Amino acid sequence: MKKNKRRIFLRGFVTLCMFMMVGCSSQTNEPAEQQKSAKPKMGGTITVAYPYEPDTLDGQKSAGTAEVYTWLLGGSLLYKDPATNEYKPSLASDYKISEDGKTLTFTIRSGITFHDGTPLTAKSFKETFDRARNPETKAMTVGELMAPVKSVKAPDDHTLVLELYEPNAAFLYTLGINSSQPLSLKAIEKAGEAYGRNPVGVGPWKFESWKTGEVTFVRNEAFHWGEPYYENQGPPRADKLVIKSIPDTNLRLSALESGAIDVATEVPVKEAKKFQNNPKYQVMERLRSGVGMLLEMNLRRPEFQDIKVRQALNMLVNKKAIIQAVMQGDAEVAQTPLSPATLGYDKSLEKYGYQYNVDEAKKLLDDAGWKVNGSGVREKDGKTLSLDLLSSSDIDKEAQLIQAMLGEAGIKITIQKLELATYLQEAVKGNFDLTLMSGAYDDPDILYFYFYSNGGYNMAGIKDDILDALLLKGRITIQIDARNQVYKDVQKRIAEQAYVVPIYFDKVFTVINSRVKGVKWTSIMPTYNDSWIEN
C-alpha cells in the first residue's frame, strides 16, 4: 500500500513542483507606480495571459495546471502573514494546536457562502477533506498534501477538528493554499462528472465560462472576507477577470503590446527588461521561493560516493558566469539549496558554500585518484570520468555551460537533451549521472522531499541518517525561531557533504499595462482584489 501511495506521490509531486515554478510565495509586492495612483474605480475587464490551460477546474483532480485558475475561486482556512511568516486565520476566525501538535481545532467564520448560495460550515471542510483523502476521487497532488490527516471531525457548524498522525508544521502551509480550499458538495453532486467545467468556490471571483484558451470569471458581489493585507476586503473592483492561455512567450508579449491582454505572466528576464523603462507598462519581479537551480549528482554512482569529487564539482561551476549568460545577470548566486524568499534561509549559511576555484578542484580530483590521461580526460583504475548530464530545452543553456566548465578540469560530459515530460520521468527514475532541477514551494519542508532518504523528490539517492533526523525534526517543530534553526542545520549539513551544487535563485517577472492599477503579489500569481482600471 505504501509503495503505491509513493508512486502516486511521485507523479503528483513532480507535476506540482514543475508547475509551481510559477511561484508560491506569500510575499506582497506592488510597484511604487501603482501605490501613487488616483482613486480606485469600479468596472471593466482585466485580461491576463498565462502559459498553461487548465486540465480541469476541479482543483482536487487537476494534475497541477489548474492551480492558477482555481485559486481565484477559493479561499483557505489560514493565510501566511507576509510580514511575519506566521499562519493566521482566514476562513477560520481562530485556531489552536494541541500541546502534542497532533490536533488542530478551527473555528469557522460565520456569514460566508459559496457561489451557489450554500453556507460555508465546518461540515463543508470535512466533506472537502474527506473527498480529497478518498482514493476514488483520484485527487493527485491534493490527496498527498492531505496525507498527514488521520481524521476529520465537524462536531458543529463552526468547529472543525483535524487529527494528524504526527505533528507536522508544514501542514499549516497546506491549510493556507488553494489546494485545501473548501468545495460545495452540493455543487459537485449537482454537476457530477461535469463539475470540472462548472466549479464553485467561496472566493472573490465566480466562474462564468471556459472555452478553449480562455476562462472568464465575474466579480463575486457577496464577497467580504478578504485577508487583512488587501486594501479592498470586499468584492473585486473589476467586473470581469479573463485568463487566456498563451504558451508562446513572444505571442504573450505581442498580445500585451497590442492591447489584447493587460497582464503577461512568466516573462523571461531578457524580455522583461525591455519593458522596465517604458511608462506604458509596469514590471513586477520577485525571487522565487523553494529550491533554486541545482546541479544534482546521482550518489548511486561510485564516482559521487567520494566527497572530494562532489566538492570538486561545486568548485568547478562558475555560478556568476551562468547567471550572466542565462539570466542577464538578474538572479542571485546560490550557496545553499533554499531560496532567500523561503522561511528557514539564513544568509550566514553562505560561508559554508564553495567558491569557484578550478585549481583547487583539480587538486581534489587528483587526491581522489582521478588523474588526467593522455587524452585530457580524467581516469582512475582504467575508467574515465565520463558523465551523462540529463537536460531539457528549458535548461539547455545551463547544461552547455556546465559541460564546458567541468570539461576544463578533464571531466567528459555528454548532454542528454530530452523533451520535458521524458526528462522528468528519467530524472525521477534516477537514470542520470548529473541533472539540473529546481522547484518552487513556500515552506522549507521542500527540503524533506528533495533530501530525505525516502523523499519523493530525492532523485540524487541521498541517504544520510543525520540529515534525515534533522528533516524529520523540521516537520514537527512548530515554533518559528526553533524551526528556522533546524533548517539552518539542515542546509549546513547539505553544504558540508556537498550533496548538490546550488547554482542560482531566479526571479519571476510579470508585465502589466499601466492602465491596470493595484495589482499585488500574494500567492502563486498576481492577485486582483485591489485592482482597478484607469480609462
CATH label of the domain that carries residue 402: 3.10.105.10
**Shared-domain flag, residues 202 and 255:** yes
d(CA 203, CA 56) in angstroms, rounded, equals: 18
Q: Is 61 inside any structural domain?
A: yes
**Shared-domain flag, residues 94 and 221:** yes
**Shared-domain flag, residues 498 and 356:** yes
d(CA 402, CA 452) in angstroms, rounded, equals: 26
Q: What pLDDT does residue 115 have?
A: 98
CATH code of the domain in which 70 resides: 3.40.190.10
Sign of CA dihedral 50, 56, 58, 63: negative
Q: What pLDDT does residue 27 have?
A: 38
**Shared-domain flag, residues 80 and 148:** yes
**Shared-domain flag, residues 342 and 476:** yes
383: domain range? 290-506
**Shared-domain flag, residues 199 and 305:** no
Q: Is 267 inside any structural domain?
A: no
**Shared-domain flag, residues 121 and 246:** yes
Give me the phi and psi of 179, to 5 degrees please: -60, -25
Q: Is 154 inside any structural domain?
A: yes
Q: Is 23 inside any structural domain?
A: no
Q: Is 1 inside any structural domain?
A: no
Angstrom CA distances, 101 to 88, 133, 324, 477, stand at 17, 21, 46, 9
Q: Is 370 inside any structural domain?
A: yes
State the total domains in the chain. 2
Model pTM score: 0.81
**Shared-domain flag, residues 122 and 251:** yes
Rama region for 453: left / alpha / beta (φ>0; ψ in -120 to 50; rest): alpha
**Shared-domain flag, residues 170 and 302:** no
**Shared-domain flag, residues 520 and 494:** no
Angstrom CA distances, 154 to 11, 125, 130, 182, stand at 32, 8, 12, 14
Q: What pLDDT does residue 22 have?
A: 34
Q: What pLDDT does residue 524 have?
A: 58
pLDDT tens over the chain, length 535 residues: 333 333 333 333 333 343 333 333 333 344 444 445 578 999 999 999 998 899 999 999 987 778 889 999 999 999 988 777 788 999 999 999 999 999 999 999 999 999 999 999 999 999 999 999 999 998 867 887 898 999 999 999 999 999 999 999 889 989 998 889 999 999 999 999 999 999 999 999 999 999 999 999 999 999 999 988 889 999 999 999 999 999 999 999 999 999 999 999 989 888 999 999 999 999 999 898 899 999 999 999 999 999 999 999 999 999 999 999 999 999 999 999 999 988 899 899 889 999 999 999 999 999 999 999 999 999 999 999 999 999 998 899 999 999 999 999 999 999 999 988 789 889 988 999 999 999 888 889 999 989 999 988 899 999 999 999 999 999 989 888 999 999 999 999 999 999 999 999 999 899 999 999 999 887 556 889 999 999 7
Is 160 in a helix, a strand, or coil? strand
Is 164 in a helix, a strand, or coil? strand
Q: What pLDDT does residue 523 have?
A: 58
- Residue 244, beta-bridge partner list: 49, 214
